[in-house]
Amino acid sequence: MSWKTLLFSFQGRVGRGPYWGLVVVSLLVLGGLSAFGVMSVVNAPDAAAAGGGLGVLPILVMLLLLWPALAIQAKRWHDVDKSAWWILIGLVPVIGGLVALVFNGFIPGTPGANRFGPAPDGHVPAGTAPIGG
């Protein structure tokens, strides 16, 4: 799968590796911004006047990471044979994020092809025919 397809398409399936890769890269980038004080939040009453809070750079970085995060999550949901609409489970406070983390990060995909395409690793279980074969 090309980088363009991986990061920008909502079609197909990916394994847990690309999901964790994006999580790690996102944490490193946002953690790096935080370490350099770019994302520091000032709790003073006049924080806005003092220039505290989120700046433009962290917001731009988060927006740049949003589409690839959604695309990879959609493919992970597809890998466990669920619709990409399951991304919306993340909007449920606390429980939704945990469900998404478990399914995307820890549950292996369905073996062989499913309704969203062939297995991301190309593995075909014994006794099954590949799609189109």
**93 part of a folded domain:** yes
* Domain of residue 92, residue span: 7-105
**118 part of a folded domain:** no
Q: Which residue has the higher pLDDT, 62 or 10?
A: 10
**28 part of a folded domain:** yes
The Cα–Cα gap between 69 and 71 comes to: 6
Question: Residue 133: pLDDT above 50?
Answer: no
Q: How many domains does the chain have?
A: 1
Q: Provide the percentage of residues in the chain whose pLDDT is more than 70.
A: 77
**128 part of a folded domain:** no
pLDDT tens digits for range 34-47 = 777 655 554 445 55
Number of H helices, E strands in the chain: 5, 0
**86 part of a folded domain:** yes
**116 part of a folded domain:** no
Do 77 and 103 form a contact (C-beta atoms < 8 A)?
yes
The pTM is what? 0.77
First-to-last alpha carbon distance for the chain, in angstroms, is 21
**61 part of a folded domain:** yes
Write phi, then psi, for 117 (nearest 5 degrees): 130, -175
